[in-house]
């Protein structure tokens, strides 16, 4: 090999010899066949999720086509649609309707509470304030779910801080009048639908704020200015400019609030009435009642509802806002 005079130190050959040993051989093999490396990288996660998760989902789905023998309580492993027929009983339809109504109300309320926070954080917060707003949403999001529910049990209890506050402000009659209402009331806030609703909104609110903020960050500020330059009132600007542009973010957030409310069984169990939600029905059917087929059929309901919801959300462009 001739060495160029201008590059006296370039003594290494242009093509390096293959590095020896197992390690070198493997390394060379992966370089020559990137598909093999890709396959090896994908195999563990796909196998894990495919077997553990998708496998379990199919096991669940399969069980919903089994039925329970009403006399022996044993599960009859033969294909039948009887369990889905049971699902359509009035009591079960009631549970489904109640859960979907609650999920819809919670979603609307979270959107209303989330919007000002998201809007302020996206449009006005700068530098240190921006970080503070971000952490201000992130910390409650990641705080323990049970601790948050526990905190609300303390707040909503009959002897708790909220009753005390109403008494201090001399408006205790207002609270009592509300609790005397038929559906939303109860003995105290912690055993009423109002309590369930407040806790749902509280727990899922950060899931709404983040996508709405992300959507609002992408709205150019001069669009809002142009709208007011053209004579729109702040209300008109909100209705015709901001809201339509923020809508994908709101829909993205509503996926979380809606889906999480549909599946939750702990919040209505701890703070709420004795009337069941879908999650509680699933839990009691598989646990105390031992009717796993009906529990499985019940879980198919939120999956189907969310399927339609996601399909609609995708058409509204919500996934770009995630």
Partner 1 sequence: MRSDRGQSAPLGLKIAAACGLLFLHLPILLIFVYAFTTEEKSFVWPPPGLTTQWFAVTWNRPDVWEALSLSVRVATISTAIALVLGTLCAAAVSRTKFFGRETISLLVILPIALPGIITGIALRSAFSLADIPFSFWTIVLGHATFCVVVVYNNAVARFRRTSGSMIEASMDLGADGFQTFRHVVLPNIATALLAGGMLAFALSFDEVIVTTFTAGQQQTVPIWMLEELIRPRQRPVTNVVAMVVVLVTLLPILFAYYLTRDGDQIAGSGK
**Binding positions for partner 1, 210-269, rule CB under 8 A:** 210, 216-217, 219-222, 224-225, 234, 259-260, 262-266, 269
| Footprint on residues 277-296 left by partner 1 (CB under 8 A) | 279, 282-283, 286, 292, 295-296
State yes or no: residue 53 binds partner 1 (CB under 8 A): yes
Nearer to partner 1, 164 or 243 (CB): 164
Place of tokens 């069980």: 63
| Footprint on residues 91-120 left by partner 1 (CB under 8 A) | 113-114, 116-117, 119-120
DSSP state of 4: P
Binding mask of the shown chain, residues 148 to 167, with x at each position contacting partner 1 by CB under 8 A:
xxxxxxxx-x-xxx--x---
State yes or no: residue 48 binds partner 1 (CB under 8 A): yes
Position among 1, 7, 8, 44 found at the interface with partner 1 (CB under 8 A): 44
Structure tokens at 109: 């309320």
- Work out the angle at residue 316's Cα, subtended by the Cα atoms of residues 310 and 322, and round it to the nearest 5 degrees: 70
Longest dimension (CA), the chain: 100
As measured in angstroms, the least distance from the Cβ of 178 to partner 1 is 18
As measured in angstroms, the least distance from the Cβ of 159 to partner 1 is 4
Asked if 196 contacts 271 with a C-beta cutoff of 8 angstroms, the reply is yes
Nearer to partner 1, 100 or 117 (CB): 117
As measured in angstroms, the least distance from the Cβ of 131 to partner 1 is 7
* Cα gap 292→66, rounded to integer Å: 9
Nearer to partner 1, 36 or 174 (CB): 36
As measured in angstroms, the least distance from the Cβ of 85 to partner 1 is 20
As measured in angstroms, the least distance from the Cβ of 8 to partner 1 is 20
As measured in angstroms, the least distance from the Cβ of 265 to partner 1 is 6
DSSP string, 96-130: HHHHHHHHHHHHHHHHHHHHHHHHHHHHT--HHHH
| Footprint on residues 172-201 left by partner 1 (CB under 8 A) | none
Asked if 206 contacts 229 with a C-beta cutoff of 8 angstroms, the reply is no
As measured in angstroms, the least distance from the Cβ of 55 to partner 1 is 6
- How long is the chain? 322
Question: Bridge partners of 76?
Answer: 67
| Footprint on residues 292-321 left by partner 1 (CB under 8 A) | 292, 295-296, 299, 302-303, 306
Helices 278-286 and 292-315: crossing angle, nearest 10°?
Answer: 150
* Cα gap 310→255, rounded to integer Å: 7
As measured in angstroms, the least distance from the Cβ of 58 to partner 1 is 8
Helix (H, G, I), strand (E, B) or coil at 68: strand
Residue 273 CA to its chain's centroid (Å) = 24
Position among 3, 28, 33, 73 found at the interface with partner 1 (CB under 8 A): 28
29 phi, psi to nearest 5 deg: -60, -45
Residue 294 CA to its chain's centroid (Å) = 24
């Amino acid at each position: 090999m001739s060495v160029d005079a201008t590059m006296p130190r370039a003594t290494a050959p242009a093509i390096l010899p293959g590095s020896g040993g197992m390690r070198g051989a493997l390394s060379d093999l992966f370089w020559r066949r990137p598909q093999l490396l890709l396959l090896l990288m994908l195999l563990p996660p796909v196998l894990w999720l495919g077997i553990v998760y998708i496998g379990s989902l199919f096991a669940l789905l399969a069980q919903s086509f089994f039925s329970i023998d009403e006399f022996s309580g044993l599960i009859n492993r033969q294909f039948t649609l009887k369990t889905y027929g049971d699902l359509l009983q009035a009591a079960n339809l009631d549970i489904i309707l109640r859960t979907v109504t609650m999920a819809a109300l919670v979603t609307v309320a979270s959107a209303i509470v989330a919007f000002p926070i998201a809007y302020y954080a996206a449009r006005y917060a700068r530098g240190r304030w921006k970080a503070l707003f971000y952490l201000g949403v992130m910390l409650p999001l990641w705080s323990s779910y049970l601790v948050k529910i526990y905190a609300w049990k303390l707040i909503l209890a009959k002897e708790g801080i909220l009753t005390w506050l109403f008494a201090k402000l001399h408006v205790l009659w207002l609270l009592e009048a509300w609790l005397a209402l038929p559906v939303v009331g109860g003995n105290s806030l912690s055993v009423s639908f109002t309590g369930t609703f407040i806790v749902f909104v509280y727990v899922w609110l950060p899931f709404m704020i983040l996508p709405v903020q992300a959507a609002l960050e992408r709205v150019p500020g001069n669009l809002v200015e142009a709208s007011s330059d053209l004579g729109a009132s702040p209300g008109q600007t909100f209705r015709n400019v901001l809201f339509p542009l923020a809508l994908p973010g709101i829909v993205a957030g509503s996926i979380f609030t809606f889906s999480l409310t549909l599946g939750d069984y702990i919040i209505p169990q701890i703070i709420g009435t004795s009337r069941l939600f879908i999650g509680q029905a699933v839990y009691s059917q598989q646990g105390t009642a031992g009717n796993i087929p009906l529990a499985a059929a019940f879980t198919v309901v939120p999956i189907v509802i969310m399927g339609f919801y996601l399909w609609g959300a995708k058409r509204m462009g919500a996934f770009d806002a995630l």
